């Protein structure tokens, strides 16, 4: 859409001498226009935006200038680029979102930017900041440990496989073009930069997939070596070995999803086993090809269409919680344990899920002090509380009450983490640790409906 000067509707036209030299042809392309976009200083080069517009957040390396800004109480990323590249990437992000690929959310394309003197400025692509996500360089404080590097590479490999299964050729795979969110001890990867990407309806050739993989290996090796040159890599870490890890992780996952499997006709249980193995990896099968030999002695199976997010969808259906895949798996496991040990609602999964949500998950999340809720997202906090409870119970050789676990976790772990979300607006009141204990105590050992000691 083409937006005229916002003041033109309320003031009559003025003579040429009276008119200020303002941009009257600013073009904003967006699926829904946020009025706050008009208030941003598009007539100013991005590197000169004032601090009252800019939000300080860690960002990865980029060939373009990227800055974070405040838009109507949320954070956006603004990238200066060419108009053609901005529109292309905007459309690509929209297509990826429609097929449920993990990527940043597009907001708008800003074109027709000019300074007050009429000098042209680059177009801008605006995307929403992914809450609780960090670029790889911000996921560690001092040095990158080998296990952290391995988990990042595994997450990127899983993302690349997921992109390739829907026919997306990335063209510039790297840690820098990816954002990472914590996922119950692992990481979940999100595509950030799609300007070189191509979506092929007929799927990718092996050559295209291998090209993406080779680019990924080269870029990752360079990124890790850059950390090493800056003294931010733990001694003894082999950058090339870390980069090689994406190749092995990718091929292993790709084979699990796509390989043809053959077995004897009387071993049909292999079909169920294959489905379960894919579910464990976090994938669902929409279609499977099953072929039997003419003599009936052999059967071949091969998944044809695979969707990621098996545990995510189950948890969302049961509880309404929209979390990462490993977090969903952990929460579902806790729910299953709750049903086996505590719940009196039998095998009705929907009712048990509601009981677990209201009596287990929500009390833990609500007990976190307001000033610490930007540290981690709720599902990750719950996962870490479960881990903390296990370690405390192991150390004591007995179950530890959940109220004590929460107080210990908040004091010794959560309070010392950096924020991984950006909270806009006025500061909220904080809740003291004694209040946490009393809040949990209302549903602790004296509760008539549930005994928290059974959950340890």
- 299 - beta bridge partners? 263, 292
Q: Summarize pLDDT for 217-242 with one digit per residue, the tens.
A: 999 999 888 887 777 776 667 889 88
Rounded to 5 degrees, φ, ψ at 367 are: -80, -10
Position 300 scores a pLDDT of: 81
Half-sphere exposure of 229 (CA within 13 A, CB side): 6
Q: What span, in angstroms and rounded, lies between the C-alpha atoms of 217 and 211?
A: 10
Asked if residue 312 lies in contact with residue 322, where contact means CB atoms within 8 angstroms, the answer is yes
In order along the chain (456 residues), what is the average pLDDT of each group of 10 residues?
41 45 72 87 93 75 83 90 95 93 94 93 94 79 68 92 94 92 86 93 93 95 84 75 92 88 80 80 75 79 72 87 87 86 71 89 91 86 90 86 89 79 39 32 36 38
CATH architecture of the domain with range 134-258:
Orthogonal Bundle (1.10)
Position 269 scores a pLDDT of: 78
**Which residue carries 């670029």 as its tokens?**
135
Q: What span, in angstroms and rounded, lies between the C-alpha atoms of 322 and 422?
A: 19
Which residues, in sequence order, are CB contacts of 287 under 8 Å at separation 6+? 303, 304, 305
Helix, strand, coil shares of the chain, percent, nearest 5, are: 45, 20, 40
What pTM was estimated for this model as a whole? Answer: 0.71
Q: What span, in angstroms and rounded, lies between the C-alpha atoms of 167 and 162?
A: 9
Position 436 scores a pLDDT of: 34
User: What is the per-residue burial (b if ≥16 Cβ within 10 Å, else e) of 308-321?
Assistant: bbbbbebbeebbeb
Q: What span, in angstroms and rounded, lies between the C-alpha atoms of 268 and 282?
A: 22
Half-sphere exposure of 161 (CA within 13 A, CB side): 27
Position 345 scores a pLDDT of: 59
Q: Summarize pLDDT for 426-446 with one digit per residue, the tens.
A: 333 333 323 333 333 333 333
**Which residue carries 């009981």 as its tokens?**
355
Tokens encoding 368: 């976190």
Q: Where are the domains of the chain?
A: 2-130, 134-258, 261-308, 325-455
Which residues, in sequence order, are CB contacts of 152 under 8 Å at separation 6+? 136, 139, 175, 180, 187, 189
Which residues, in sequence order, are CB contacts of 178 under 8 Å at separation 6+? 60, 135, 136, 156, 159, 189, 190, 191, 192
Tokens encoding 104: 């940043």
């Amino acid at each position: 859409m083409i937006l005229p000067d916002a003041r033109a509707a309320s003031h009559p036209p003025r003579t040429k001498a009276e008119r200020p030299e303002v941009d009257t042809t600013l073009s904003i392309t967006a699926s829904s226009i946020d009025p706050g976009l008009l208030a941003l200083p598009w007539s100013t080069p991005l590197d000169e935006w004032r601090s009252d517009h800019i939000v300080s957040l860690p960002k990865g390396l980029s060939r373009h200038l990227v800055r974070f800004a405040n838009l109507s109480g949320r954070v956006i990323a603004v990238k200066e680029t060419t108009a053609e590249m901005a529109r292309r990437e905007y459309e690509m992000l929209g297509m990826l979102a429609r097929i449920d690929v993990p990527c940043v959310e597009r907001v708008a394309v800003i074109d027709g930017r000019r300074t007050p003197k009429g000098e042209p400025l680059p177009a801008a692509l605006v995307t929403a900041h992914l809450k609780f996500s960090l670029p790889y360089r911000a996921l560690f404080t001092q040095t990158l440990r080998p296990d952290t590097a391995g988990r990042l590479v595994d997450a990127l490999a899983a993302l690349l496989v997921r992109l390739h299964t829907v026919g997306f050729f990335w063209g510039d795979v790297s840690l820098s073009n990816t954002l990472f969110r914590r996922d119950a001890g692992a990481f979940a990867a999100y595509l950030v930069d799609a300007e070189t990407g191509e979506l092929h309806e007929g799927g990718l050739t092996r050559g295209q997939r291998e090209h993406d993989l080779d680019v990924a290996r080269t870029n990752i090796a360079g990124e890790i070596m850059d950390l090493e040159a800056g003294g931010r890599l733990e001694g003894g870490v082999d950058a090339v070995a870390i980069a090689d890890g994406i190749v092995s992780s990718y091929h292993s996952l790709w084979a699990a999803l796509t390989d043809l499997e053959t077995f004897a006709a009387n071993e049909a249980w292999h079909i169920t086993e294959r489905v379960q193995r894919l579910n464990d990896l976090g994938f669902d099968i929409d279609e499977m090809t099953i072929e039997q030999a003419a003599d009936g002695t052999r059967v071949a199976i091969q998944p044809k269409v695979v969707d990621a997010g098996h545990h995510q969808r189950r948890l969302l259906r049961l509880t309404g919680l929209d979390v990462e895949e490993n977090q969903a798996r952990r929460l579902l496991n806790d729910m299953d344990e709750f049903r086996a040990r505590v719940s009196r609602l039998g095998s009705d999964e929907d009712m048990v899920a509601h009981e677990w949500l209201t009596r287990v998950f929500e009390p833990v999340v609500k007990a976190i002090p307001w000033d610490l809720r930007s540290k981690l997202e709720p599902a990750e906090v719950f996962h870490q509380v479960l881990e903390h409870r296990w370690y405390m119970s192991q150390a004591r050789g007995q179950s530890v009450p959940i109220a004590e676990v929460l107080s210990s976790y908040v004091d010794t772990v959560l309070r010392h983490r950096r924020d991984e979300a950006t909270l806009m607006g006025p500061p909220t009141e904080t809740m003291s640790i004694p209040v946490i204990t009393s809040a949990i105590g209302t549903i602790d050992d004296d509760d008539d409906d549930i005994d928290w000691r059974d959950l340890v």
